[in-house]
């Protein structure tokens, strides 16, 4: 694998990680929660673990920008993240929270992959 391709794949994983952190920080800020590293990590923990599981289950490193991978990473992050949040981290999973989390993570975990696919298609047409 070329150094450029390896760097791109690391960037794509970093973008997914940052998306989860932005989701958590925005949510905590919106609810007036204290912005401490411990608080952020406690809230992000289940989703970061689930994101890692999603990357492993989908073998995302092979084609991180594919829509199939994006759908799998999104579904795993939301479903496993909510299960971990509820049963391991002992936090709430109210229906509205699940909806907001799903919408935000869909936009950020799946949305960039849609954009990458459109940009790739445009590049192929222009070539």
Question: Token pair for residue 18?
Answer: 């940052």
Longest distance between any two alpha carbons in the chain, whole Å: 53
- Under a CB-based contact definition with an 8 Å cutoff, are residues 58 and 52 in contact? no
Q: Which pLDDT does position 120 carry in this prediction? A: 67
pLDDT of residue 125: 43
Residue that is written with structure tokens 């999104």 in the block: 74
Per-residue pLDDT of the chain (127 residues; tens, 9 = 90+): 578 878 888 899 999 999 999 999 999 998 888 889 999 999 999 999 999 999 999 999 999 999 999 999 999 999 999 999 999 999 999 999 999 999 999 999 999 999 888 876 554 444 4
Going from N- to C-terminal start, the domains of the chain cover 3-126
What does pTM read for this prediction?
0.89
Provide the pLDDT for residue 4.
Answer: 83
């Amino acid at each position: 694998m070329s150094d450029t391709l390896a760097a791109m794949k690391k960037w794509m994983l970093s973008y997914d990680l940052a998306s989860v952190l932005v989701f958590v920080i925005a949510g905590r800020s919106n609810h007036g929660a204290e912005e401490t590293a411990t608080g952020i990590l406690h809230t992000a923990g289940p989703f970061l673990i689930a994101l890692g599981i999603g990357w492993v289950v989908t073998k995302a490193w092979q084609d991180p920008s594919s829509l199939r991978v994006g759908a799998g990473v999104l579904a795993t992050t939301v479903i496993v993240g909510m299960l971990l949040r509820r049963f391991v981290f002992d936090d709430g999973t109210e229906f509205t929270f699940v909806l907001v989390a799903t919408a935000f993570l869909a936009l950020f975990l799946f949305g960039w992959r849609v954009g990458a696919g459109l940009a790739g298609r445009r590049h192929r047409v222009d070539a």
